Amino acid sequence: MTELQIVTLPDEVLRKKARPVTKFDDDLQALIDDMIETMRAANGVGLAAPQIGQSLQLAVIETLPKVDEDGEDIPDSRELFVIINPRIVWESREVIDGIEGCLSIPGYVGEVERAYAVRVRAQDRRGKPLKLRLKGWTARIFQHEIDHLNGVLYIDKLTDRENFWTDEEYYNMRQAELEEKAEEGEEVKETAVTKPNE
């Protein structure tokens, strides 16, 4: 397997609508494996083919670990998805604001409103139909990656133009919030500031 180069803004491939995948051949299998390796090496939770310069309707997603009652990560609880030619067939009316980062926009994060839950139809890596029901952070990652396949980036969907920060600004802001909560004696489960890379 090979780690691939991740393309960043302003590369135009990020703004194109990706082509459907029609051949589920060995080349595609190798590309998928390389994308999984690239996503993991970049500490990402999702990677869409345009992000490695391939204008194809393909994305890999690895969910955040599930957490136990104490807020600790449960080992081996991440779930890996390969989605091909995906489309969102339903989204909840309930929406939720959350922080997103993108491997193609390194060094920045922003707040984006997403549907809390979605249903997705796609094909798996062998071309078999997939029907998925997703919610919470997983649904957010799917929406971010499917946007990539349509040339849409999270910066197009910020809750407010001001809700866009450098990693450092965001880190300092969140750290200050956590410290304030701790001083007020509030129980703080989150001890480190993290952000998802998609």
Can you give the binding site for Ni ion, defined by CB under 5 A?
102, 198
CB of 44 to Ni ion, least distance (A): 8
Residue 85 or 104: the one with the smaller Cβ distance to Ni ion is 104
Residue 21 or 198: the one with the smaller Cβ distance to Ni ion is 198
Residue 102 or 120: the one with the smaller Cβ distance to Ni ion is 102
Distance, in Å, from the CA atom of 140 to the CA atom of 92, rounded to the nearest integer, reads: 12
Largest CA distance in the chain: 58
Distance, in Å, from the CA atom of 149 to the CA atom of 16, rounded to the nearest integer, reads: 8
What is the number of the residue whose Cβ is closest to Ni ion? Answer: 102
- Residue among 3, 145, 184, 190 flagged as catalytic: 145
CB of 51 to Ni ion, least distance (A): 6
Residue 83 or 102: the one with the smaller Cβ distance to Ni ion is 102
Q: How are strands ordered across the β-sheet holding 95-100?
A: 95-100, 108-115, 164-166
* Residues in CB range of 84: below 8 A, 6 or more apart: 21, 24, 57, 58, 122, 123, 124, 125, 127
Q: Six-digit token pair at 19?
A: 């082509």
CB of 152 to Ni ion, least distance (A): 10
Q: DSSP letter at 69? A: T
* Residues in CB range of 75: below 8 A, 6 or more apart: 65
User: Is residue 79 among the annotated active site residues?
Assistant: no
CB of 77 to Ni ion, least distance (A): 23
Residue for token digits 């001001």? 162
Please state, as a whole number, how many other Cβ atoms lie within 10 Å of the Cβ of residue 61.
Answer: 24
The vertex-71 CA angle with 67 and 74, nearest 5°, equals: 30
Provide the annotated active-site residues.
145
